[in-house]
Homo-oligomer: A and B are copies of this chain.
């Protein structure tokens, strides 16, 4: 049975604006007593990357992709008006002026509120990421079946 007090978010996108949306929803939901899981897949894994690290066994192609896609939660691009990184800096400045939580702050808060972080094993495997290349806050590395098991029981399921 679906439970209206459960929510899942697939964070597929690796942009700061989309990650902010996902984490604002996750932290607000958690503070309302909703149990939230975020399933990080594909570009969304950037949020979980530990610096620019890759798995030690990453191959040449993975290193190339890893370099191109080198952002972490501290330095993600915007979906629009990125201007080689000037856009996100402007956005961060604006958010600071308006006293709004930054992505790293929302990330920290979501941990304090017991939001569950699941990293998609399949995507990690393609992108040359392993447990060591991800931040310690990751609860679990799992595949689509784990996500679907949680989504079946959750009333709110979003793909971001």
Contacts and interface: CB of A to CB of B under 8 A. Distances in A.
- Among A12, A21, A90: residue with most chain B CB under 10 A: A21
A112 to B, nearest CB: 17
Which of under 10, 10 to 19, 20 to 34, or 35 or more describes the interface residues of A? 35 or more
A21 B41 contact: yes
A152 interface: yes
A28 B148 contact: yes
A3 to B, nearest CB: 9
Interface string A13-42: 010011011001100110010100000011
Interface string A76-106: 0001110000000011011101101000000
Contacts of A42: 17, 20-21
A80 B10 CA distance: 18
A62 B94 CA distance: 8
Interface of A: 1-2, 4-5, 7, 10, 12, 14, 17-18, 20-21, 24-25, 28-29, 32, 34, 41-43, 59, 61-62, 64-65, 68-69, 79-81, 90-91, 93-95, 97-98, 100, 122, 125-126, 143-145, 147-149, 151-153, 155-160
Given A59-B97, A68-B80, A148-B156, 4 more contacts: A2-B4, A5-B152, A28-B143, A29-B148
